[in-house]
Structure formats: C-alpha cells, structure tokens
Amino acid sequence: MPVLQRIPPTPAPSKDALGCAASKLDVNQEFEGGGLTFYRKSTGNEQFGNVSTPASDRGFLVGVALRGGHRRRILHGNHASTHDFDNGSIYIRDFTEDYRADLQGGFDFLLVEMSRAFIERVNDEKGGPRVSSLLPMNGQSDPVLGALAQVMTQVLDRPAETSSLFVDHVSLAIGTHLLSEYGAGATAGWGDTGGGRVLSRKLEVRAKDMLLAAMRDDSSIADIAEACNLSRSYFIKAFRQTVGTTPHRWLLEQRVQKAKEHLRVPGRSITEIALQCGFADQAHMTRVFASVVGVSPGAWRREHGI
C-alpha cells in the first residue's frame, strides 16, 4: 500500500510593516527624515489581495496615489466601503484602529507615517489652534499633497543626493498642510504675534556658518534652529526674511559658488570637484549647478576659457 505523504501548506507571503505582501511589490522603498517615515509601494498586479495591520500606537498613515486606476474595499467590522483613487487622491488612517482592505487594480502610493509626537512638534511650530489627530479620509483629491508626494519620490529614488535640510523643509510642509486641512481635536492655542521676522546679525552669521559646515556633516535644520534658540519653523521664516531665500537654497548656492572656484583651476575633474563641494556625485552637481547658473559645469568652464 502506498504511503500517503503530508504536503506542508505553501507559506503565505511575508508582510511588511504596513501589511503588504512584500513579494508582490514592484517598488518597495523606505526613507526616514524630517521626523517622518516615507514609503513608496507600487505594483502592476491587478489581483494584489488584501492588506491588514493590527491596532498600534504608531500614529497616522497618509497615502497619496501617484497614479489612478486603483480601488480598495475597506472592511469595517461587519460592513465595508469601496473607494476609487485617481492621481493625487489621498487616504488617512489612524493606526490605533485595526485595518483590513482588499486591493483591486495596480497601484503606486507615496505613504507618510506620522507619529503623534511629530503632530505636537508641528503644533508648537505653526502656532494657532492645536490639533491632536487627523480626520479619516478615503479617495479625496488633494493637489498640494499630490505635488509634495512627487517631490518625495525623487528623495526615495536618490536618497544619497538629498540633504536633511531639504527633507526637513518638505516634511514640515506636509505636516503643516495635513494639520491645517485635516486636523481634529482642536484646542485653544497661541497665534502669531505678527510683524517681520528677521535674524539678528549674530544669529545670521551663526546660521550661515553651520549651514556651510553642512557641506561636510549635513547638519539638520533643527540643529541649526536649536543653536539659534529658535523653533524650526520660526528659523526658516526668519532666515528667508533676512537673507531672501530658504536655508536649503542658500546652501545650494554656496556649494555652486565653491564649485566655480574649483572649476577655475585647470585640470580638476568635475567628479572630484563635486565630492569636494558636498554633492553626492557628478550628476548631482550638474543638476544643481544648472538650476542655479543656467548651464552645466562643463559648459560654464568652457564659456570662461578654462
């Protein structure tokens, strides 16, 4: 008599921190910066299946669709709701609630995980009414978050080329927008006293010195603001009012000026100059240089007969 053998069941695909079967994803990226965690999840799989996460104290998750054609059926106890997502549509969910959803159609999402501590920090920096949570959303269009999500995809694609100063700016913009548009649980807060915000000469020098040091150690804007005894938001606004541009843009311009000095020296390779001036590589320097000067480093060097 033949012996029957027990065939073990095929193990279910492992799921990541957001409840996705990682093996089914075509793009699965993660980046932490500016107090937020960013993810990009993308697949062409029309029958992706379900996602689920148990309740936790992780805060909130904001999803921004980078393309249309996606539908999800969200299960709420004994009932369900179905939502369609176009390019720029968003959802917001609270991690304190169990989450289950069936995903239909391929998708491409930029996801932002926001802790309650980050919300409190934005409350402190923006002033005005304070909020304690975000309203749940599913499928609503938000062009502002859609545009910011596109910016963050570039960061996820090339994290080595991105400074923490830039990520701080984008993170603060995302946080401020979310709290302003979808904040809940408002309490009495404090408002802006008005008037111009400028840095004293001493603080301007200190801030610029630290930004220049960021060419080497990539100091965050929070560190610089703390050194000036200012909140991050106040520092950004005061720096722009004083200098005429944001800290990140000013730093890029200084790197370009330093690159010009090196480019004047015959025989120096652009790759070598890029690394010495704080750029990730030659391609990174070329993009920034062209955005500031209007031509590539090589073209600028030729124009000046070097």
Alpha-carbon 85 to chain mean position:
21
pTM: 0.70
Q: How far apart are CA 210 and CA 217, in angstroms?
A: 10
Q: What is the pLDDT of residue 179?
A: 93
Q: What is the pLDDT of residue 12?
A: 47
DSSP output for 90-112: EEEEETTS-EEEEEES-EEEEEE
Give residues with Cβ within 8 angstroms of 143, minimum separation 6. Answer: 88
DSSP output for 260-297: HHHHTSTT--HHHHHHHTT-SSHHHHHHHHHHHHSS-H
Q: What is the pLDDT of residue 155?
A: 94
Query: Is there a contact between 251 and 259 (Cβ–Cβ < 8 Å)?
Result: no
Q: What is the pLDDT of residue 240?
A: 85
Q: What is the pLDDT of residue 92?
A: 96
Q: What is the pLDDT of residue 222?
A: 82
Q: What is the pLDDT of residue 133?
A: 87
Q: How far apart are CA 112 and CA 36, in angstroms?
A: 7
Which residue type is seen at 16? D
Q: What is the pLDDT of residue 162?
A: 86
Q: How far apart are CA 119 and CA 130, in angstroms?
A: 9
β-pairing verdict for 70-76 and 99-104: antiparallel
Q: What is the pLDDT of residue 188?
A: 34
Quick count: other Cβ atoms within 10 Å of Cβ 14?
A: 9
Q: What is the pLDDT of residue 174?
A: 96
What averages of pLDDT result for each successive group of 10 residues across the chain (306 residues)? 50 74 92 94 90 90 96 87 95 91 94 92 77 90 96 94 89 93 61 57 91 73 86 83 86 92 91 90 90 91 84
Q: How far apart are CA 29 and CA 19, in angstroms?
A: 14
Main-chain phi, psi angles of 188, to 5 degrees? -60, 135
